[in-house]
A and B are shown apart, each in its own frame.
Chain A
Amino acid sequence: MSEFNLSDLVKSEFINLNLRAQTPEGVLRELVNLFELEEKARGLLLTMLKEREKLGSTGVGKGIAIPHCRSLLLPSLSLAIGRSKKGINFKALDKRPVQLFFLIVAPPQDPYNQYLLTLGKIAQIAKDISFKDSLFTAETPTDFLARLKEIEKVT
């Protein structure tokens, strides 16, 4: 399982292109809410993601952040994507507001170490795309995924 695509991993129901939150915590909460989890589990996952952000921001620059953690709470590697039109101060490395969020949560049992491969793939995309990429403007999750697929073909 060395070759896999992000665009196959994420389903359109796990994409929210109109995040309402104005704060980093609010964004994480909106993203966590996309997963099918009971309320307590959502709260717990949110706590873990906040702990991870304390280690250093996952804002990798160019308006992209990759919040992530390992957790028992989800049975398989899960990816949720959110976009904030206005941008959020996420203490990113380049200090720019973050518009695109790729949330990754992986269970401890991860036979192919997909977690790190996924992180690496998104970090690569962040390096390659420009601020004008249509990922920042796509109207629907379907358009967004189509563009993601295109990028993945090139990288």
Chain B
Amino acid sequence: MHQQLELLIMLHDLEEMIRESLEAAISEESLGFKLSHQEDLKKAYAEVEKRLQPELLVRYRKLKERYERAIVPVVNGVCCGCYMRMPIALATSKDKNVEVTTCENCGRFLYWTE
């Protein structure tokens, strides 16, 4: 897996964790978990941001402004952002996740789960 793609995934997953830890409606506290150090998550997020190539970070933020998610999984050959089917050449390539790729239709970063 491409190292910058790893960072994009981390950035996304940390964002999800920060968002969920802040949303009272789905608070884990009601399930019996203790939640406290959200600051740690934010620190980890800032560190990932620093390690990401600046142009990728700019693109990530622009995508975030436009869509809710900037990086989406490809499931069964379909982009989970815009639901367009991936071109056959890309879908059958053996080197998925070796490079940072984007959806030709919506521009979101892609992560191949199969």
* Partner-B contacts on A (CB < 8 A): 38, 40-41, 44, 47-48, 51-52, 54-58, 60-61, 66, 69-75, 93, 107-109, 116, 119-120, 123, 126-127
Contact = CB atoms under 8 A, between A and B. Distances in A.
Contact of A69 (B17, B31, B72, B113): B17
A127 B30 CA distance: 13
Contact of B33 (A58, A74, A107): A58
Interface in B73-114: 73, 75, 80, 111, 113-114
Given A55-B36, A70-B16, A119-B31, A40 B1 contact: yes
Interface stretch (B7-15, B49-57, B58-66): B7-15
A43 B16 CA distance: 18
Interface of B: 1, 6, 9-10, 12-14, 16-17, 20-21, 26, 28, 31-38, 40-41, 44, 69, 71-73, 75, 80, 111, 113-114
A48 B17 contact: yes
Q: Which of B35, B40, B41, B113 has the most CB of A within 10 A?
A: B113
A54 B32 CA distance: 16
B40 A72 contact: no
A54 to B, nearest CB: 5
Nearest to B5: A40
A48 B21 contact: no
A119 B33 CA distance: 11
Contacts of B71: 72
A51 B14 contact: yes
Contacts of A71: 9, 13
B21 A55 contact: yes
Given A38-B1, A57-B34, A108-B16, A51 B41 contact: yes
Given A40-B1, A55-B41, A123-B31, A72 B12 contact: yes
A91 to B, nearest CB: 10
